[in-house]
Structure 1
């Protein structure tokens, strides 16, 4: 028995040192070299931190582009989806409420034209991006409230649209925080 227990204890101690000590320190050192020094990449505007580049933010005012809904109310500490299936009655009720709210605030938009990401939460609940179509469908509302020509807002969406990675990996996307900052800067 001694023949098996002592090597097992030694192996356990070595793994604890490596996996609970050295490895986390190594990962922390790499993170300190990344943008934001491992604390997240902040977005500043007019000398003030207004959010984080890769974490979705809540925009509900009609004069802004709305973000994708969040099942965790945009709380980065509690990232996650609702875990409700597509046929769950509570989930369907929530989605229908989001559709109804969107239609009230965006008259002239038909239910079938609403991009799915405007009424369903992402898996993390923190998605900072929308598709260009989801941003474009909100232009009429914002143009009316702000008195900005819709063509100018469509051009702004195009300006802040990032294409797929390497031109082929993933969809085109628009960062809602950056788009709303640019929207506030329009004269």
Structure 2
């Protein structure tokens, strides 16, 4: 019996060392060497060098003076253990579990659309301002969604719409290698650039 177990145990230990220790350490070292920014979380630093967020995780900007990201349905837990809405909770990635015919979803999208339409009645409401992403904390919005918010942000900051619109244009990121993905705007970077304008 021991004769049959010995090779199995040795193989288990060998594979554990290779796949559980050497491979992860090798990949971590390679990632740090080749892609240090991405390997460390794509962190965005403020003026004083402190981390203010990540390019990969959206943040909840509620003030009228800032551009808003996509709605987030992530949740958290209150002191009594109840599930509560906690937008952009990076510890709880999830999308809405509501199907396209769910009354709660239809009601929320209808209400959000009406609120946004009142904010900017001359422009159609971009779909990504009323629908959630699969992760629950998408950091990007479409250029149309950013441009839709220009009048509100310009008014709240006392800036000209043209100046804010140009800021959005300057922050549009194109397709990767000109082929992959869609043009998008990172909301955190845009809001940082907006703070740089003042107002």
Deviation of residue 14 (structure 1)? 3.5
Structure 2: runs of 5+ lacking an equivalent: 75-86
Q: Which residue of 2 aligns with 1:143?
A: 154
Pick closer, same or farther for the CA change 1:10–1:29 going to 2, 3 Å: same
Q: Which residue of 2 aligns with 1:65?
A: 67
Between the aligned partners of 2:6 and 2:102, the Cα distance in structure 1 is 53
TM-score (norm 2): 0.79
Between the aligned partners of 2:13 and 2:31, the Cα distance in structure 1 is 26
Deviation of residue 89 (structure 1)? 2.4
Q: Extract structure 1 runs of 4+ deviating beyond 4 A.
A: 1-11
Alignment match of 1:169 (pick from 166, 171, 180): 180
Structure 1: runs of 5+ lacking an equivalent: none
Size of the aligned set, in residue pairs, is 184
Are 2:160 and 1:158 equivalent residues in the alignment?
no
Q: Which residue of 1 aligns with 2:97?
A: 83
Q: Which residue of 2 aligns with 1:29?
A: 29
Moved more, 148-157 or 30-39: 30-39
Q: Which residue of 2 aligns with 1:118?
A: 129
Moved more, 58-67 or 89-98: 89-98
Structural RMSD (CA): 2.4
Between the aligned partners of 1:4 and 1:91, the Cα distance in structure 2 is 59
Conserved 8 A contact 2:44-2:54? yes
